[in-house]
Amino acid sequence: MTQEEKELLLKDLCARLSYGVVVQEPDYYEAPLTIATMSEVFYNGLEVKPYLRPMSSMTEEEKKELKADTCPEGTGYFDEKYLICPMSHYGEQISYDFMSVILEWLNSHHFDYRGLIGKGLALEAPEGMYK
């Protein structure tokens, strides 16, 4: 794992700690672990991989929840890849508060919005792992 990959993974894990992210540390533990502190992430230089959900695994119910939680007055819709929220309520700008709500929602539902699974830095969470 390169230094750049470690930094990306560390940033991602820091944002997920309060949501009970599950990781695999293949050289020490056989079963997945839920981490609660950063000291558990790279303990003695061991590299962990979080279990994350691909964006494509978002259910219709979760899409409704995300739309209700993030789009003005529950407006918005999904296309094949994106949540589209009309910004008329906010004007042409997206506020930092609005961005943080989306990121917190994605982190709390353990979605891989940074593409870590495709980079080999995370594992796909089995269905039901985070229920």
Residue type for position 29: Y
Residue 20 has pLDDT above 60, yes or no: yes
For tokens 């079963």, what's the residue?
A: 31
Helix residue ranges, H only, 34-88: 60-70
- pLDDT tens-place string over residues 46-64: 577 899 999 999 998 988 8
CA atoms of 120 and 5, how far apart (whole Å): 10
Name the DSSP class of 44: G
pTM for this prediction: 0.76
Distance of CA 90 to the CA centre of its chain: 25
Is residue 43 pLDDT above 60, yes or no? no
Q: Say yes or no to pLDDT of 100 above 80.
A: yes
Q: What is the DSSP letter of 64?
A: H
